[in-house]
A and B are shown apart, each in its own frame.
Chain A
Amino acid sequence: MTNIWFDVAEVSVGQHWYWQLGGYSLHGQVLITSWIVVAVIGVICLLGTQNLQPVSGGSAATAPKGLQNLTEYITEFIRDLAKTQIGEEDYLKWVPFLGTIFLFIFVSNWSGALIPWRILELPNGELAAPTNDINTTVALALLTSIAYFYAGISKKGLGYFKRYISPAAFLLPINILEDLTKPLSLSFRLFGNILADELVVGVLVSLVPLVVPIPIMLLGLFTSAIQALVFATLAGAYIGESVEDHH
């Protein structure tokens, strides 16, 4: 009888399948799921854009349908998000970045919540959403930091650094601190949400294997979608903040 309980009680954190690469230890399971996520996005993109149909003559037969309609809808959604966050003037060249961030996080989160990764057993650790690992989220957050620095400096030159002493010079320490807290909060928010969701589901599954985890899993789907949106929106807001004019 005790064997069953040990079999069911299987929730662990911090177990990784390490790959060694030039003195670095890589989290192999994260890379595998990341590649799968990238492949999924790539395949959908290719399938959606392979046979593009322009609307002609107003006939229903030529309207965008299927995957083309879906990809166009997602593109419009991201473009609108970028426009509201960055502003009419500069938003267009940041649509690809925000789209990449949003789609990668969204597909990662949902893959963790929808794909039965545990069927496949690894030598150590287990497959899960890539955003379940702090390294992924930190990488995404640092990319966002680089992006908004680049956006501000490429637009204003060295004048970008005026924002550190505005509105008053004595706020300099706080303004510098802000640059550190932004990636920190971005990465920890995403990592914490996804990890917490998977842990809650894991614990519930180990306690009550059937039916009870389902509402929590649905809630997890909702929150993970929201987290993707929040990350992309905040990235857009930071970029918009650094390119806006203080005149």
Chain B
Amino acid sequence: MLLSTSFLLAGHFGFNTNLLETNVLNLAVVLAIVLTYVGDALRGLLANRKQSILTNFREADQRATEAQNKLREAQLELEQAQAKAQKIREQANVTIEQEKKQFIRQTQEDIKRLGTLQQETLKFEQQKAQNELAEKLVKLALQQVREKLNQRLTSSIHSAVNNFQIVLFTNSKAS
């Protein structure tokens, strides 16, 4: 190392005002260069960073609004679909009600028809039974009459019967 004289004399604080010794001029130039070029580069970097942050933020914002729009559309569609479903359900209810009424009416008609059919059948059966009964009675009566006639028919009784019948006829004719 080169010899130095000043630090041998030192031993106290002080200011060195020698421009060359303190290298102030060169430092000023270096500082100016650094401030100009490095400062410029740094400012550019920082501006870039700021810009990219802003762009990212705006993009994120835009995406958020898009997503919200999509959500709103989807909600709208959901509401429409729900309304449609409601309508379909109501229609189905109405149809069911109508069919129910129709069925009830038909059933009532059927019941009525069956009722009349039953009445008619009953009446018919009754008549048939009555007819059969009447026939049997007539047959029985005629049989008894024949038996009586076969057993106890004499000429006197015959004439009496005849007379009686004649009287009946005449009476019926007169009346």
Give the residues from 80 to 135 in chain B that come closer than 8 angstroms, CB to CB, to chain A: none
Q: Given A11-B4, A214-B29, is A55 in contact with B46 using a C-beta cutoff of 8 Å?
A: no
Within the assembled complex, what's the spacing in Å between the Cα atoms of A6 and B34? 32
Asked if A118 contacts B16 (CB within 8 A), the reply is yes
Asked if A122 contacts B30 (CB within 8 A), the reply is no
Asked if A60 contacts B4 (CB within 8 A), the reply is no
Q: Given A60-B54, A73-B46, A121-B15, is A217 in contact with B26 using a C-beta cutoff of 8 Å?
A: yes
Pick from A7, A116, A120, A126 the residue with the most CB of B within 10 Å: A116
Contact of A165 with B by CB under 8 A? no
Contact of A65 with B by CB under 8 A? yes
Contact of A58 with B by CB under 8 A? yes
Give the residues from 1 to 51 in chain B that come closer than 8 angstroms, CB to CB, to chain A: 1-7, 10-18, 20-27, 29-31, 33-34, 42, 45-46, 49-50
When C-beta atoms are compared, the residue in chain B nearest to A120 turns out to be: B15
Contact of B57 with A by CB under 8 A? yes
Asked if A214 contacts B57 (CB within 8 A), the reply is no
Asked if B49 contacts A114 (CB within 8 A), the reply is no
Smallest Cβ distance from B73 to chain A, in angstroms?
23
Q: How many residues of B contact A (CB 8 A)?
A: 39
Asked if B46 contacts A12 (CB within 8 A), the reply is no
Band of interface residues on A: 35 or more
Asked if B25 contacts A210 (CB within 8 A), the reply is yes
Asked if A205 contacts B53 (CB within 8 A), the reply is no
Contact of B146 with A by CB under 8 A? no
13 contacts between A and B (CB under 8 A): A7-B18, A15-B7, A55-B53, A58-B58, A114-B34, A116-B23, A120-B13, A121-B14, A124-B11, A209-B25, A214-B33, A221-B30, A221-B34
Which B residues form the contact surface with A (CB < 8 A)?
A: 1-7, 10-18, 20-27, 29-31, 33-34, 42, 45-46, 49-50, 53-54, 57-58, 61
Which A residues form the contact surface with B (CB < 8 A)?
A: 6-13, 15, 55, 57-58, 60, 63-65, 69-70, 72-73, 113-116, 118-126, 201, 203, 205-206, 209-211, 213-214, 217-218, 221
